Amino acid sequence: MEELFEAYNRIILEHLKHPRNMGEMESPDGVGEAQNPACGDTMRLFIKVETDRIIDAKFLTFGCGAAIASSSVTTEMIKGRTIEEALMISDAVIAEAMGGLPPTKVHCSVLAERAIQAAVSDYRRKKEKKENSQDDR
């Protein structure tokens, strides 16, 4: 088990041992899910948005330690950012914030980027639907 963690730096280990913002969110404004079919890692990202700014983020992840750490780091990165700012966060930016990822774990930051995009897409879809239903009144 010790050899398993040797490939991870202290940032990844810290987020793995003490993940931030883990858990399901009640009444999220957007939910995004991303999966890696090759390894089975799955990340579900929940966002709460006010005036196009992400005020809260939570995650549920099934996967390896790097996937859990990527999820944790991602929630910290997107909190307080506008929707547009969050969409500019790439997998490379996430990996850099984690202090780098072993080559075999780079897919974890890609998973996080895709989850951000999916959560924002869901938020926008719900917002548009809500606005359209108000216009019908």
Q: Which residues are catalytic?
A: 39, 108
- Report the DSSP beta bridge partners of residue 43: 34, 61
The rounded distance, in Å, linking the Cα atoms of 21 and 4 is 24
Give one DSSP letter per residue of the chain, joined into a string. Answer: -HHHHHTS-HHHHHHHHS-SSBS--SS-SEEEEEE-TTT--EEEEEEEEETTEEEEEEEEEES-HHHHHHHHHHHHHHTT-BHHHHHT--HHHHHHHTT---GGGTHHHHHHHHHHHHHHHHHHHHHHHHHHHHHT-
